[in-house]
Amino acid sequence: MSMNDIDVFFTELSPQAASRLAAIHAHMRTNHPELRDQLYYGMPAWRKGKYDFIAFSFHAAHYTLHTLDFDYLEMLRARHPKAKFGKGSYQIPYQDENASAELPSILDELAARMPLR
């Protein structure tokens, strides 16, 4: 197993973060096998081409979705005005079960929008 494999990344996460990544990973492998899964800038990511990706970083109190689909993030911001967003990112607190439950549909929508260019 290569050190850049997402499966190895699991061993470095807290149990809470690992369970979130396991759900994301299973969803992406089942529903979007056309996307390559790999570490991208040290984050688990699913890619199509050079700039089209969905990546995640994991932190103590939240996990963050990263994408260069800025238009989609603006639509998401309109649906979730109290959520925290950065440039190209959407933060999801671990305890926000509603946001976590919505994540599979967000992933499906982002994957359907690829390629962006």
Strand partners, 91: 64
Q: How confident is the model at residue 4 (pLDDT cuts 50, 70, 90)?
A: very low
Question: 58, 7, 37, 5: which is closest to 107 by C-alpha?
Answer: 37
Give the model's pLDDT for residue 117: 58
H helices of the chain, in order, are 6-9, 15-31, 70-79, 97-112
Judged against a pLDDT cut of 70, whether residue 16 lies above it is answered with: yes
**How would you classify residue 14: left for phi > 0, otherwise alpha for psi between -120 and 50, otherwise beta?**
beta
CB-CB contact of 88 with 67 (8 Å) = yes
Judged against a pLDDT cut of 70, whether residue 3 lies above it is answered with: no
Q: What distance in Å separates the CA atoms of residue 78 and residue 74, rounded to the nearest whole number?
A: 6
The structure's pTM equals 0.91
**For the chain, domain boundaries:** 40-117
